[in-house]
Amino acid sequence: MPSKTAHVFALVWVLASYQQWLACSELPPTCDSLIYCHGQLLHTIQMAGLYDDSKSFVDKSLKHNVSTTLRKFNKLMSDTDENPSREQLLDFVNENFLEQEELEEWIPEDFVKEPEFLSHIVYTRVRDFAKEIISIWKTLGRKVKQDVFKKQDQHSLIPVPNGFIVPGDTAFQEYYYWDSYWIIDGLLVTGMTKTARGMIDNLLSIVERYGHVPNGGRVYYVRRSQPPLLTQMAKIYFDATNNISWLKKSIDLLEKEVQFWINNRMIKITVNNVPHTVAIYHAASLGPRPESYYEDYMTARYYHTVEEQNRLYIELKSAAESGWDFSSRWIFDRYGGNNGNITFLETSRVAPIDLNSFLYGAFSNLAEFYEHLQNEEKQKYWSNLANELNNTINTLFWNAADGIWYDFDTTLQQQRPEFSPANFAPLWVKAYNTKPKAAAHLIEKVIFYLKREGIPNFLGGIPSTTTRTGEQWDFPNAWPCLQSIVVEGLENSGVPIGQHWAREFAERWVRSNMYGYNESGQMFEKYDSEFPGHYGSGGEYRVQTGFGWTNGVVLRFIQKYYTD
């Protein structure tokens, strides 16, 4: 992507092109805010390149109310004949916005420095490492300040009632949807059930407000989501506590979140004259992502028509909705392969195997919840939906020759035979024949596939793909959440060869995390699969430390494989 300094545009031209683009679209804006999501103010400031990272601006707070801020901006544009200089725009921002601390530090009430599970860890150095990781929960605890509740339109942060664990210690000072699952799982390992419940209740409060869980806790995320794991969070919390009164109180909103995906992200396709319903990522809203506005705008300039540019904006946001932003999984060349760059994203063309598996898990979880609540009608409804999706997963996505599931190209109506840990998501949710003999045969094929792809050769973790593109969700990066999906999927199969490799991959990951922590004193959001302990690369921001889901995954692996 061209650097900002390589492109200096006359703002008059930029604003004219913005008006043309706006007039040609019938899409809804990213959100309703004329400050943070759409409008001339956002476009003008972000295209001026005032910040190295576009997120810096949309995370600022307003000094004045929205109408006053817009009135001052309109006066600036009038006084400068619609062509303010970069310095004038910077002065405007400094006079009307501030980098306010919207969160306050918070130590969870149920934090225990040395939880009981530590005493069961066999090896001293692993126990010491786990103790260090547990202490990080204190540094990542946050609560929303009261000022954000009182003046919500002056902040992009969406306030939530309970304290929570942020993913990282710098760039991500808000909560994110799928990150929260592995954070909550780590909290449960350490006995912090109250904090875990509070985080789930936060997400439920957002479902009540918006009808679904957005990508993250900012208003500019509200028209896109992330992998739908809310019911899975509820399941692991319920399994740990058997809190039936909480489940009864929460079930309607849990169901509402899943219904959002059915209503808005599932499509009907016919393959070989057989109809199927599959899920896709598809975040259709107007314009670039506000938090990556300049970058998206410049990427879209590859195309010459407004229609093509708007299509790419949707695909960029859909890739962000997937959590895999960005990856060769969403890139298409003219032959249906993945050669290219993010200019050629067609995210919503893919029926992702992991998304369809997560929804199978969500349907199954709701069926189980309603069984606990003795609602036979609802239990049967969700069980039937789960069975239908299970059949689709093992018809469209399963490749018997390779012994693995793949993403499905809905345009060419064929599988995309590329390696990724997402291919193992059906194991994670048990979307396969779990009878012992059938499961053993399946797992043997899956392990053969892993070996054929050379995955056991990577000592730093299971890579996201085997395609090197420079994008952060491609080779050689190894992500904690993906290790969890593969390891737990193999472990929960109950098949000895699968459990052997689950332990092997988990222990490699723990060793890699320990090595990196001992060298740097940090836990990273992603690692390099080729070099144990080294942080990963690529992406739209510098590598983040902290790190919520990394801590959660390594604690779960230690609890499973290093305790007596």
User: What's the rounded Cα separation, in Å, for the pair 173 and 167?
Assistant: 8
Catalytic residue among 295, 321, 525, 540: 525
Beta bridge partners of 121: 563
User: What's the rounded Cα separation, in Å, for the pair 4 and 293?
Assistant: 12
DSSP E strand stretches across 96-182: 97-98, 103-105, 141-144, 164-165
User: What's the rounded Cα separation, in Å, for the pair 404 and 354?
Assistant: 12
Beta bridge partners of 561: none
Q: For the chain, what percentages of helix, strand and coil (3-state, to nearest 5) are there? A: 55, 10, 35
User: What's the rounded Cα separation, in Å, for the pair 423 and 417?
Assistant: 10
What's at 449, amino acid-wise? Y
Q: Is cis: bond before 419, omega within 30 of 0?
A: no
Residue 325 among the catalytic residues: yes
Q: Is 298 left (phi over 0), alpha (psi -120 to 50) or beta?
A: alpha
User: What's the rounded Cα separation, in Å, for the pair 440 and 495?
Assistant: 6
Tokens of residue 456, six digits: 């056991």
Catalytic residue among 325, 346, 474, 491: 325
* Residue that the structure tokens 């530090």 belong to: 105
Tokens of residue 354, six digits: 């992991």
Q: Given the DSSP bridges, would you call strands 477-478 and 527-528 parallel, antiparallel or unpaired?
A: antiparallel
When computed from its CA atoms, the radius of gyration of the chain, rounded to whole angstroms, is 24
User: What's the rounded Cα separation, in Å, for the pair 159 and 182?
Assistant: 21
DSSP E strand stretches across 81-190: 97-98, 103-105, 141-144, 164-165
| Nearest to 485, CA basis, from 361, 391, 319 | 361
User: What's the rounded Cα separation, in Å, for the pair 493 and 509?
Assistant: 20
Contacts of 391 (CB under 8 A, 6+ apart): none
3-class SS of residue 269 = strand
| Nearest to 142, CA basis, from 101, 114, 181, 179 | 101
CA angle 415, 348, 442 (to 5 degrees): 30
User: What's the rounded Cα separation, in Å, for the pair 246 and 233?
Assistant: 13
Beta bridge partners of 105: 142
CA dihedral defined by 205, 206, 212, 217, rounded to 10 degrees?
-150
Contacts of 7 (CB under 8 A, 6+ apart): 298
Tokens of residue 461, six digits: 């973790």
Q: Which residues are identified as catalytic?
A: 325, 525
